[in-house]
Amino acid sequence: MFGTARNWSRRHETLVDTVTVAPLLLLHASGALAGGLSASALSPAHLAVGFALLLPLVVRRRFPVAVFAAVAAAAAVQMGLGVGLILADVAVLVALYTVAAHARTVWATGALGVVEAGLLLALVRSPYTDRGDWDVLALYTFLILLCWVTGLYMKLRRRYVLGLEERNRWLERERDARARAAAAEERERIAREMHDVVAHNISVMVVQAEGATYAVEHDPGRAQGAMRTVAETGRSALSEVRGILGALRGSDDDPEGGEGPGHEGHDAYAPSPGIDSLDRVAEQVRAAGVPVDLTFTGEQRPLPAGVELAAFRVVQEALTNALKHAGPGTSRVRVEVEYGARALTLRVRDDGRGLLAPGHDGRGQGLVGMRERVSVHGGWLRAGPCSDGGFEVVATLPV
């Protein structure tokens, strides 16, 4: 509430100052600010001096130095005309406060000096100074310094508040930027998961379906086997997609709410695929017509779940690329999983066409996803054509 009022006051400074000064002008016109004089006893000099002192305050916060100069000039004219001290002279203190609160410190110091010099000059010209009545100097000096110091304090406080507001805006922008970055990172992660799951299984299904199309007339048995593989691969893909969607919803329940076509009672708490699941992926590729040799070297041992999943996805994507791009005549794909003392090394090599395959430029989304997965765990990945033909993917994951 107070913050809203403060912001509104900042946007309408002139209006607020006008509303504040208007009662003083009315009181002055009625004689209440003319040192106790009645309205009928006000001289034109009193009226003119009072209005000259009060009117500039309407724009005091917009032009603090200019307003102080105008008020000081009116006070000087008042002194020159011999008009005595009137309550409208409070405008001098208000103008001094405004300069201290809204102008540079050098201007505030100069304004303080001008007011003090005017006070001394007024006391010197006053008939009361002949009797040594200088106690009023201390009182007025105290009031002047109080207004001046209050103005400086308000300036420092306003700068502090503005700094806090700017810091708050900066933190909000940083929070929004981090939220956008986190959302973008999560979208990329989801895209990698969906690409790895869907691309591999759909590639196997497409190859099997094409084979069944050619074999349906000449070898119905092989066609039926191919279509069974398509169905099994589709169910596997559907199960994995359901798992991903369940994780996105914060629940591993079936998103469709029950059994449906192809539902195999997928375990809601089934672990993420890992190195032990590579046999299943290799068998899918073999069923699609590409022989796969899967070998393990080194002492096999349990690895962190993130490393296991990354290794599985890298090999899965590499086999998918071999299935899609190696082309006819591919005699074999070799997959080597090497357990080292400090790292897990994966090698997937085919003897197909490599980069000569249509659409295979080595910069596909699959390779990008593999590199991202490996880099998350501090590893590295190299993918490129072999000197004697074919394509090779080598990845190292620190363990």
SS3 string of 61-105?
CCCHHHHHHHHHHHHHHHHHHCCCCCHHHHHHHHHHHHHHHHCCH
Question: How many other β-carbons are positioned within 10 Å of the β-carbon of residue 342?
Answer: 7
This prediction's pTM: 0.47
Give pLDDT, residue 382.
92
pLDDT for 167 equals 92
When computed from its CA atoms, the radius of gyration of the chain, rounded to whole angstroms, is 43
Q: Nearest 5°: phi and psi at 219?
A: -145, 75
pLDDT at 261: 35
What is the CB neighbour count within 10 angstroms for residue 205?
Answer: 21
Q: What is the pLDDT of residues 226-282, one digit of tens each?
A: 788 788 777 777 777 776 676 666 644 443 444 333 333 444 444 568 898 899 888
Q: Would residue 126 be called left, alpha or beta, if left means φ above 0 and alpha means ψ between -120 and 50 degrees?
A: beta
Q: Whose CA is closest to 98, among 54, 75, 144, 67?
A: 67
Distance CA(58)–CA(17), nearest Å, equals 5
pLDDT at 249: 65
**Which residues in the chain land under pLDDT 70?**
1-7, 9-10, 31-42, 126-134, 243-244, 246-272, 326-331, 353-365
Start-to-end C-alpha separation, the chain? 56
pLDDT of residue 297: 92
pLDDT reported for residue 356: 46
Q: Count other C-beta atoms under 10 Å from residue 379's C-beta.
A: 22
For residue 292, give the DSSP letter.
E
Predicted local distance difference test score (pLDDT) of residue 151: 92
Q: What is the largest CA-CA distance in the chain?
A: 133
- Give me the domains of the chain, ranges plus CATH numbers: 2-133 (no CATH), 288-399 (3.30.565.10)
> Which class for 8: exposed (0-12), middle (13-18), buried (19 or more C-beta within 10 A)?
exposed
What does each C-alpha distance from 58 to 20, 68, 226, 339 come to in angstroms?
Answer: 8, 12, 90, 82
Distance CA 386, CA 21 (A): 87
